[in-house]
Amino acid sequence: MDRDEKLRVIIDAAPCGMVMVNDQGVIVLVNAQVEKLFGYSREQLLGQTIEILVPTPLRSDHPKHRADFLANPKARAMGAGRDLYGQRKDGTAIPVEIGLSPLVMDGERYVVASVVDITQRKFAESTLQENLLELQRSNADLEQFAYVCSHDLQEPLRVISNYTQLLAKRYHDQLDDDANEFVEYIVDATKRMQELINDLLLYSRVQTKGQAFRNTDCHERAQTAISNLTLAIEESGANISLEPLPTILADGSQMLQVFQNLISNAIKFRAERPLQIQLSATKAENAWLFSVTDNGLGIDMKYADRIFIIFQRLHNREQYPGSGIGLAICKKIVERHGGKIWIESQPGEGTTFNFTIPCSQEAPTT
């Protein structure tokens, strides 16, 4: 088997389409995959210029592209950064990827082009993009729905609460014990519903009412959070250690909320021993890693994901008050900033809440 025959065998065995043209752009060799891809027989292609496989609107410019390649021949992908198409015998266009390789044989210059049909990939990418856009629309709709519902529910709930309390005040002596107990249930339930609605509003506003990112001094934000919790800190006897925190591009009010929620969570779930809370930050390669560490009750790591789900609780309301939304808000805020949040914990040993903010959002130094 001579060299030319070996080349034909190799090209014909290739899993992708292979076309070989001379320096005039005339097709001298094709494989079976090209026949299958473009719908031409080998005999119909040999001797034709490569433009037969180029979409009709682009054919007039293609000889110039061939000349440019031959002026600087080196193996490369064709049309980097652009969508490329080939044209089948029936006139339909197909998306393709093309690799070009120069070849010299017996003093003659040739170009070997590998052609891959990427129709399925393009369809998958298009479907993925459509699903992503639909998911974004759905999330926006859900956030707007939560905001509108929680906002519109407040007025009728307020009416129920006011009239129930008025009933209890005016007719307490005229009602029997069962009726008074029922009224108390209604009053407690409306208060609880009001808390849930307010929390749902806070949750929906993370996206809908979020502010633009600006230079934010996280150390100052943490100090403000500590100041806001002065009474709770004094009542719990907590000792808070605040290490230097960076200045980053962020929503300042939301960073305050994250620090305040995490400190408040540590105070709420403290152990019998004196409470120690430490806030710190370290710079990794691509992000700032913030940590809020306490020596409180700790959490079984099997609940590590559940605690960040809206309205999920690990304890009953009587034991630890609250709706269970604080950590869900922290997660939503951190994700809005492009970061992640997670815990490291052991029951009885305390908990560390870690969250990251990408270094791309680090404020520039002046």
The pLDDT, as a whole number, for residue 365 is: 45
CA distance 366 to 362: 12
CA distance 312 to 263: 19
**Helix or strand (DSSP H, E) at 211:** none
The pLDDT, as a whole number, for residue 179 is: 84
pLDDT tens per residue, the chain (366 residues)? 566 677 778 777 788 999 999 999 999 999 999 999 999 999 999 999 999 999 999 999 999 988 999 998 898 888 666 889 999 999 999 999 999 999 988 889 999 999 999 999 988 988 888 888 887 777 676 666 666 666 677 777 778 888 888 887 888 788 788 888 888 888 888 877 777 777 677 776 676 667 888 899 999 999 999 999 999 999 999 999 999 999 999 999 899 999 999 999 899 888 889 999 999 999 988 899 999 999 998 888 888 888 888 766 655 555 555 556 888 889 999 999 999 999 999 888 899 999 999 986 555 443
- What sign for the dihedral angle of Cα 332, 298, 230, 325? positive
* Phi, psi angles (nearest 5°) of residue 354: -110, 140
DSSP track, 257-305? HHHHHHHHHHHHT--SSPPEEEEEEEE-SSEEEEEEEE-SS---GGGTT
Which residue type is seen at 195? E
For tokens 């009542």, the residue is: 235
Q: Give the CB-side neighbour count of residue 251, counting CA atoms within 13 A.
A: 20
- Within 8 A by CB and 6+ apart from 304, the residues are 342, 343, 345
Decide if 354 contacts 341 (C-beta within 8 A): yes
**Helix or strand (DSSP H, E) at 120:** helix 119-171
What is the chain's alpha carbon radius of gyration, rounded to the nearest angstrom? 34
Would you tell me how many other CB atoms lie within 10 Å of the CB of residue 251? Answer: 20
DSSP SS3 for 350: strand
**Helix or strand (DSSP H, E) at 21:** strand 17-22
The pLDDT, as a whole number, for residue 366 is: 36
For tokens 């509108």, the residue is: 148
Q: What's the first-to-final CA gap in the chain, in angstroms?
A: 72
CA distance 188 to 110: 85
For the record, the structure tokens of 23 come out as: 């320096």
Q: Which of 196, 178, 215, 230 is nearest to 311 (CA)?
A: 196
Q: Which of 8, 58, 60 is nearest to 34 (CA)?
A: 8
Q: Which domains does the chain have, with CATH numbers?
A: 3-117 (3.30.450.20), 124-208 (1.10.287.130), 214-361 (3.30.565.10)
Q: Which of 323, 249, 255 is nearest to 287 (CA)?
A: 249
DSSP SS3 for 35: helix
CA distance 227 to 260: 9
